[in-house]
Structure 1
Amino acid sequence: MRIPEENDVQGEINIVPMIDAIFSILAFFIISSLSLIRSQGLPVNLPSAQTSQPNQQEEINITIQEDGSTFLDGKPILVDDVRSQVTDLMGENQEAMVIINADEKVSHGVVVSVMDQLRQVQGATLAIATKDQ
């Protein structure tokens, strides 16, 4: 009795599922990195300026919405409390860049009031956020 020989089946590596997994991981990292570069301020319509420059320092964001409501790093705050809250945030760090994200339709008086409060903070440098043209 003779045992029939079995043909050796050549093994294959199907790389299509591996490519799908690599692209899924790549898409995940692209989408997650986009959320890292968003501004820390709340969404407002910033005015545009040709001379706007990116900031490289430690920053504190103050957002003033169109209706005049004011936020410090995303938390609601009264205009009269801006000076004390920013001083507390600065802590031991004697210098900080305070960026005012004011909607282009906000009342000029509200922005001036916030700026007046910030000028009384020792070591705070003021900047007004704009968008590139």
Structure 2
Amino acid sequence: MHLPEDPETPLQINIVPMIDVVFAVLAFFIISSLLLTRNQGLPVVLPGAETAETQTQRQVVVTVNASGEIFVGERAVADEQLLEAIQTLGTLSDGGLVVIRADQSVNYGRVVAVMDQLRTLPGVQLAIATEGGQP
């Protein structure tokens, strides 16, 4: 019987590929969970409505926060820049939906003034965001 003089190298478990796979799976779940959550934009307390419906078409969100400031998306705009900011987005070229997210504590006249400005856009449809299922 012949015994080798060189001992066999001990078996090793290489965990680097396993770490790569774990990080790839983790990245997939993080990115997919971000896409599943609906980003509502700025924090406002919306009024409730039992007849609320979900809109699925392309839309531009205009937010009026509790202090009356106007935001297009998440960018603050002045009153005179509202129409210009919406037109630069380019999503309302053939008429589209503008969703107004106004805090429930905002003065009614302020919301109507914003709606009046938005109605000057050609072919625009207006919607007011509410919390569904609340009286």
The change in CA–CA distance for 1:34 and 1:108 in structure 2 (over 3 A counts) is farther
Unaligned runs of 5+ in 2: 5-10
- The answer for the alignment partner of 1:97 in structure 2 is 97
Deviation at 1:44, TM superposition (A): 1.5
CA distance in 2: counterparts of 1:106 and 1:92, whole angstroms: 26
Percentage of pairs with the same residue: 34
* TM-score computed with the length of structure 1 as normaliser: 0.73
Unaligned runs of 5+ in 1: 6-10
Question: How many correspondences in the alignment?
Answer: 130
CA distance in 1: counterparts of 2:50 and 2:24, whole angstroms: 38
Q: How do residues 49-64 of structure 1 correspond to structure 2 at under 5 angstroms?
A: 49-64=49-64
The change in CA–CA distance for 1:49 and 1:27 in structure 2 (over 3 A counts) is farther
Deviation at 1:33, TM superposition (A): 2.5
Amino acid in structure 2 at the alignment position of 1:29: F
- The answer for the alignment partner of 2:42 in structure 1 is 42
The change in CA–CA distance for 1:80 and 1:99 in structure 2 (over 3 A counts) is same
Amino acid in structure 1 at the alignment position of 2:62: I
Amino acid in structure 2 at the alignment position of 1:127: A
CA distance in 2: counterparts of 1:97 and 1:107, whole angstroms: 23
- The answer for the alignment partner of 1:66 in structure 2 is 66
CA distance in 2: counterparts of 1:95 and 1:56, whole angstroms: 15
Contact 1:80–1:117, Cα closer than 8 Å, also in 2 = no
CA distance in 2: counterparts of 1:128 and 1:27, whole angstroms: 37
Partner SS state of residue 49, structure 2: coil
Pair 1:87 & 2:51 matched:
no
Pair 1:29 & 2:28 matched:
yes
Amino acid in structure 2 at the alignment position of 1:97: L
Deviation at 1:76, TM superposition (A): 0.8
Deviation at 1:32, TM superposition (A): 2.0
* TM-score computed with the length of structure 2 as normaliser: 0.72
The change in CA–CA distance for 1:33 and 1:126 in structure 2 (over 3 A counts) is same
